[in-house]
Structures are given as C-alpha cells and as structure tokens.
Chain A
Amino acid sequence: MRLIKLISILLLISLTFAFKLNAQENEGNKEIEEVKSHVESMDENLTALLGDVAGLKKIKISGYLQINFEKSEASKGFFMNPYDSTDFVQARFRVRRSRIKVAYDAGITQFVVQGDFSNAGFELKDAYLSLTCPWTKAWDFQAGVFNRPNYEVEYSSSQRESMERSLVVRTLYPGERDLGIMATIHPNDWFKLQLAGFNNTFQGTYKQNGPNFNNEPLYFMARLTKEFAFQDLGLGLDLGAHLRYGNVVSNTNKLLESDVATKAAADTVSLKKGDKVGRTWFGFEAQLFYDLFGGMKLMGEYIMGNDVNQLGTAGSKTNGPAIRKRSFNGFYVMLVKNITEEFQFAVKYDSYNPNTKIDASKIDNVNELTVNTLGLGLHNYTFENIRISLWYDMITTKTKTGLIEKDPIDNLLTVRFQYKF
C-alpha cells in the first residue's frame, strides 16, 4: 500500500515536473520565435538601411581652402582699399580659394557643381553633367560649365606645385572654364581625344570681348594626349597637343597687324564691320615622370598662335579704335622633386611673349613686352589633408627705352596654407 502511495506521489511529482518542463519549453520556443522575428525585422531594416547608404555613397563632397600670405617687393603691391585708389600695401593675407564641389555619381552619369567662396564673394565654377557610354565605356559626354581642355588648365590649383598657372595660360584661358559641350574619346585608355565647343559666355571668357570686337558665339577646342609607361624603368612620359579655333567679329574698320606699332598711323588693314579675325592657337605638352630617389616630374608646355585685343582711344589716336592682332608664344617648364614623403621642391620657369612679330624697337605698348618668371618653392605634406607652401616668384619684364627703362621691382613671396578633402 505504502509502495503504491510512494509511486503515486513520484508519478504526481514527475507529471508536475514534466508539465512544468513542457511549459518552460513552450515559453522558450515562444521567446526564440520572438527573438527570431526581431532579428528578421532588424534584417529588413538593415537591408533598407544598406540601400539608403548605397544611395548616399553616390553623393561625393570634396573641397579645398587656400589661405595666402603674400609679400610683394613692389611699392604698390596690392590694392586693398576699395574707397581709396591710392591705398596700396606690400603684404596681405587673403583667401585665394574656398571651394566646395558636390558630385552625384550614378555610375554612367554624373552631376557636378562647384562653387568658390573667396574674398571676392561667391562664384560658380563648375556646373555640368556627364555621361559615359554604357556599352563601350570608351567615350564620355559632358555639358555645362567646366575646364577647357588644356593640361595646366585642368591641373587643379590644389595639386599644382606653382602658386599660379603660367602667364601664357592665364592670359589665354582666364577663369579656366567656359560654357559648352565636350566629348572625350578614350578607347581602352589607348589615347584620349577631347573635342569641345564653347560659347564665350562664362566669367573670364566674356571679359575678353572689347568695345571694338566681339568673340564669335562659338569656338572649338581639341586636345589629344597619349601616355607611355615604362614600368621596368620606373619611367612615364605623357605627350599631348591642343588646338583652339575661333574668331572675333569686328565692330570697327581698322586692324593693326602684329608687326606694326600700336600707335602706328599707317600699315593698318581695313576691315568691314562684321569681318572675322582669327583667334586661333595651338600648343604642345609633355610630362615626364621618373622614380628617382623618391620620384620626380618634369612638365612643360609651349603654345603659339594669334590672339587679338582691343585698343582703345589711348592705343590708336590717329585711326580711332582698332583691333590689335598679335602673334604670340609662351611656354613653361617645371621640375618637381620629392625630397621625402613630406617635402617637395619645385622650380618653374615661364615666359610669355605677347607679340613675336613686332621688332623690339617698334614696341610702344607695355602690354607687348615679354615677361619671364622664375619661381621656386617648397611644399610640406606632414599633416594629412594639409599642404604648406613657400614660394618665391622672380618676375622679369623686358625693358624698352622710353617705355620701361628698368625691370620693375615686383618679385613676390607667397606662403600658402591649404586644406583639401
């Protein structure tokens, strides 16, 4: 009887325990299910989040800031006071560049806009769309405002080792950019051919119009480049050429050819209003890269052709306003040598002869004197994103009796602090 009682009690305890276990198991399963559903919902959220992140990654923001300290040796170095035209200083700080670039990169299409916030205020720099051929990837199309196809123009000032572009490039491509379209053909990177048409309406370019002429609505540019790499020798050589073809339309009936003085009474060419005068030039470029004790590069460009500029009444009293045609040439050579990972030394020589055809004795306009600049400097890259530069430009202007007796004292020292991201 006792045994039956004991068995009954044990059975009862076992049943209770089993029931409890079952209940616990059910509860455990329920919790697992809950956790699983949480994980699944997190997974869904994560998938959605990854999609958002992928979308955001298409937006790329970059920019750079350049703060200059400039010390000119010229007594009238920099004009600083907008209310007093006689107020000049020899040294100054200035914000040279403060750029923000926003790009939306959707793979084969791209949207880019860039602005500059400097001492002069806000200025639009780039605003273009680009499209890459989705099938061959061998050509791109660009439309909007962007850099014109020239090596030094396209070489960003955040990267360029000299403080400014060479004088010839600054003269021919003021503001660097223009409004137009461009096709870039680059089959397997075998070569690169840029073909562009611009319309002289953007910033620096429209300033090249004068009261006695206007640029034609369109001008064309082409640039062909080819890169050669000799990996075993640690040597790279990039060669290229570019062309600018366009005209100005005369608003006067006088043209002064390159070989006559700007104040000449005779030897002018008669024009009809509406006649075209060529504004066409071409250039060659070469860049050599060599892995020599930390790397070096040697870059150069030579440009020649015909340019025009306006002569006001001061330039041609006898004939009235005339168009001045000039055959010009200009070049630069720059050597950049890395000394360590952190330091870089650079030396640059540039020359611009605004009129190659006029006899030296006939020059009667300071703007037609040859200017040569020898610049040398040092860059430091110790801190990530920051470049500190020390640069000294020695500027030599050719003298002309009665015009400029002595090379003006106008050398320039620049210390630049740049942040780039």
Chain B
Amino acid sequence: MFRKIIVLGLVSVFTLASISSLMGAEKITVKGSDTMVILAQRWAERYMSKNGNISIQVTGGGSGTGITALINGTTDICNASRPMKQSEIKKLKERFGTLGVEIPCAKDGLTVYLNQSNSVNNLSMQQLKDIYTGKITNWNQVGGKNAKIMLYSRENNSGTYVYFKDNVLKGADYSPSCQNLPGTAAVVNAVAKDVNGIGYGGAAYAKGIKHSKVNGIEPTKENIKNGSYPISRYLYMYLRNKPTGAMKKYIDWILGSEGQAIVNEIGYFPVK
C-alpha cells in the first residue's frame, strides 16, 4: 500500500509538472558579457517596443557570470564574448542533460587601447603578448618613450579577458602587475587618464583613447569583417535548450535583418 501511494504520488507530480511546463510566461532574462550589454539592451528595447506582450530583462556581469547563471537556471539567455569551456559544458550536462545551444550573433574586433599622447601606433601580436605577460615593461622597448608600461585588463570572469589570454597570450598568464578592472568602460577610462596605459576591449566602447594597429593593420570595420585584422571574435548567445515559442521568435528576430542592423548601429559586425 505504502509503495503504491509513493509511486502514484511521484507519477502525479511528474504529470502536473509536465503540464505546467507547457504554460510558460513570456518573460526572457538575459545575462552575461559586459561587452555585449549595450547591444543586448538595444535589441531588447527595440523588440519590446514592437512586441508589448513580452518582457526582456538584460543585465551584464561578464561572460563567466552569465554562463554560471545559465548553469544555475537563473537566466534564459547567456551572452558571452567567448565560447563556453568544456568544464562549463560539463556542468550544464550534469544539471540539465544538454550541451547548450551556441548562437553566434555578432562579430567583434578586439582593439588595443593606447593613451592619445602615446607615440606608439603599432604593436605586433608578439609584442602584445610580451607586454601583457611582463616580458616587455617599458615603452622604449617598442619604439616609445622611456616610461613604464601600465597594464589594464578585465577581470577573469570576463569573456574578453579569456579571449585575450587564449588568443593573444596563447594561454600564458597575465603579468602580476596587470590591473584588472570591472568592465570595458573602466579600462577605456583608465587608459584615457594614464599616458603610459595600455588596455584592450571591444571597439564599440573606445572613446577618448586611440587604437593601436596590430601587425600593422588598423582595426577598421573592413579589416575586421574581412578577417585581416588579427584579433577578431564572435559574440555568442547561449541557451540551455533549442529555443521554442517566444524565445525562438526573439532569437530569429536578432539573427534577422532588423536585429543585425542594430549590431551595425552599435559598432559590431553582423554575422549574416
């Protein structure tokens, strides 16, 4: 008798929960990359203005924070400026039984910020690696004045931080003298104030500073789009499951002409 009650109870709850899953409210939460937060907010505002029945809430915090939220089930969409790591996919598999759905939604060039008074205008990939790993410490080693190089970076929960480490530093550790700042805007601000500063981040944020050429190539839209600029990357949205219903409509809109036009407006590059 006891066994029957327990089994019947579990099956009933299973059925009720299944039914409730089909009645989802039209509310979407988006969390993650600070690089993408302006873009995501613009998408959400524009979409909500045309679809009054849907509510989209966007917050930043960094790609790592967004991915953790996706794994913990506290966000529907995670914005990330780097691909998910194997260890993160493993956690998603353990909790939700899925590999996650990766949607490249924009392309971005990672630009190197220099103070406007800096006489250096070009850095090679090797020089960038050596600067950020602490091998090169003075601007005169790369053709500038005799002054200590001040390094500014993002925090380690940032996708930009991880992307730069993987693709420019080739996995090597950042120099201990590197100051990690919360957000690309803070990096831009620090370099704008510090005549000996160097930073990196998305082109969409770069105001009050100058961009360094990398390997002699300027980070122009054309160069990033045609791939000749060496530090470019995709920006991603991650979901736990294949999108359905309101979520699918929103994703389709982002990848459509209207959503991709906003990508251009913000200063990134469309994927289609």
A residues adjacent to B (C-beta < 8 A)? 47, 50, 54, 57, 73, 107-108, 134, 137, 155, 159, 189, 227, 229, 231, 234-236, 287, 289-291, 293-297, 336-343, 345, 376-378, 381, 384, 390, 392, 394, 411, 413
Given contacts A108-B173, A392-B10, A411-B2, contact A338 B96 (CB under 8 A): yes
Q: Is B13 touching A378 in the complex (CB atoms < 8 A)?
A: yes
Q: Taking the complex as formed, is B3 at the interface, i.e. its CB lies under 8 A from any CB of chain A?
A: yes
Closest chain B residue to A343, Cβ basis: B17
Q: Taking the complex as formed, is B171 at the interface, i.e. its CB lies under 8 A from any CB of chain A?
A: yes
Closest chain B residue to A287, Cβ basis: B93
Known: A231-B102, A336-B97, A337-B97. 7 other contacts (CB 8 A): A229-B89, A229-B99, A289-B98, A290-B98, A295-B96, A296-B97, A378-B17
Closest chain A residue to B2, Cβ basis: A73
B residues adjacent to A (C-beta < 8 A)? 2-3, 6-7, 9-10, 13-14, 17-18, 20-21, 72-74, 86, 89, 93-99, 101-102, 156, 171, 173, 179-181, 240-242
Contacts of B18 in A (CB 8 A): 339-340
Closest chain A residue to B95, Cβ basis: A159
Q: Is A234 touching B242 in the complex (CB atoms < 8 A)?
A: yes
Q: Say which residue of B7, B9, B72, B179 sits within 8 Å of A50 (CB atoms).
A: B179
Q: Is B94 touching A159 in the complex (CB atoms < 8 A)?
A: yes
Contacts of A343 in B (CB 8 A): 13-14, 17, 21
Given contacts A289-B97, A340-B17, A384-B72, contact A295 B10 (CB under 8 A): no
CA distance A181 to B21 in the complex (A): 46
Closest chain B residue to A136, Cβ basis: B171
Q: Say which residue of A234, A341, A413 sits within 8 Å of B99 (CB atoms).
A: A234
Given contacts A50-B179, A231-B102, contact A394 B241 (CB under 8 A): no
Q: Is A381 touching B73 in the complex (CB atoms < 8 A)?
A: yes
Q: Is A390 touching B180 in the complex (CB atoms < 8 A)?
A: no
Q: Is A137 touching B21 in the complex (CB atoms < 8 A)?
A: no
Closest chain B residue to A58, Cβ basis: B156
Cβ distance A75 to chain B, nearest Cβ, rounded Å: 13
Contacts of B97 in A (CB 8 A): 289-291, 295-297, 336-338
Cβ distance A407 to chain B, nearest Cβ, rounded Å: 12
CA distance A231 to B95 in the complex (A): 17
Chain A interface, DSSP helix/strand/loop, else mixed? mixed
CA distance A297 to B10 in the complex (A): 19
Q: Is A294 touching B14 in the complex (CB atoms < 8 A)?
A: no
Q: Is B10 touching A378 in the complex (CB atoms < 8 A)?
A: yes
Q: Is B74 touching A384 in the complex (CB atoms < 8 A)?
A: yes
Cβ distance B101 to chain A, nearest Cβ, rounded Å: 7
Q: Say which residue of A235, A297, A394 sits within 8 Å of B3 (CB atoms).
A: A394
Q: Is A47 touching B99 in the complex (CB atoms < 8 A)?
A: no
Q: Is A378 touching B14 in the complex (CB atoms < 8 A)?
A: yes
CA distance A337 to B180 in the complex (A): 41
Q: Is B98 touching A107 in the complex (CB atoms < 8 A)?
A: no
Q: Say which residue of B6, B10, B102, B241 sits within 8 Å of A294 (CB atoms).
A: B241
CA distance A193 to B9 in the complex (A): 43
- 29 A-B Cβ contacts within 8 A? A47-B179, A227-B86, A231-B101, A231-B102, A234-B101, A234-B241, A236-B93, A287-B93, A289-B93, A290-B97, A291-B98, A291-B242, A294-B96, A295-B240, A296-B97, A297-B93, A337-B97, A338-B97, A339-B17, A339-B21, A340-B21, A343-B17, A376-B10, A378-B13, A381-B73, A392-B3, A392-B6, A392-B7, A392-B10
Q: Is A107 touching B173 in the complex (CB atoms < 8 A)?
A: yes
CA distance A389 to B170 in the complex (A): 44
Contacts of A342 in B (CB 8 A): 17, 73
Contacts of B89 in A (CB 8 A): 229
CA distance A139 to B179 in the complex (A): 29
Given contacts A137-B171, A392-B6, A392-B7, contact A341 B73 (CB under 8 A): yes
CA distance A137 to B101 in the complex (A): 27
Closest chain A residue to B99, Cβ basis: A236
Contacts of B13 in A (CB 8 A): 343, 378, 390
Contacts of B93 in A (CB 8 A): 236, 287, 289, 297
CA distance A75 to B179 in the complex (A): 64
Q: Say which residue of B86, B98, B102 sits within 8 Å of A295 (CB atoms).
A: B98
Contacts of A341 in B (CB 8 A): 73
Q: Say which residue of A73, A137, A390, A411 sits within 8 Å of B10 (CB atoms).
A: A390
Q: Say which residue of B10, B96, B102, B180 sits within 8 Å of A377 (CB atoms).
A: B10
**6 A-B pairs with the lowest CB-CB distances in the bound complex, closest first:** A297-B97, A295-B97, A340-B21, A295-B98, A343-B17, A339-B17
Contacts of B10 in A (CB 8 A): 345, 376-378, 390, 392
CA distance A342 to B171 in the complex (A): 37
Q: Is A376 touching B7 in the complex (CB atoms < 8 A)?
A: yes
Contacts of B73 in A (CB 8 A): 341-342, 381
Q: Is A291 touching B99 in the complex (CB atoms < 8 A)?
A: yes
Q: Say which residue of A50, A338, A392, A413 sits within 8 Å of B180 (CB atoms).
A: A50
Contacts of B6 in A (CB 8 A): 392, 413
Closest chain A residue to B178, Cβ basis: A54
Cβ distance A44 to chain B, nearest Cβ, rounded Å: 12
Contacts of B181 in A (CB 8 A): 50
Cβ distance A131 to chain B, nearest Cβ, rounded Å: 14
Closest chain A residue to B15, Cβ basis: A339
Q: Is B98 touching A234 in the complex (CB atoms < 8 A)?
A: yes
Given contacts A107-B173, A392-B7, A411-B3, contact A339 B98 (CB under 8 A): no
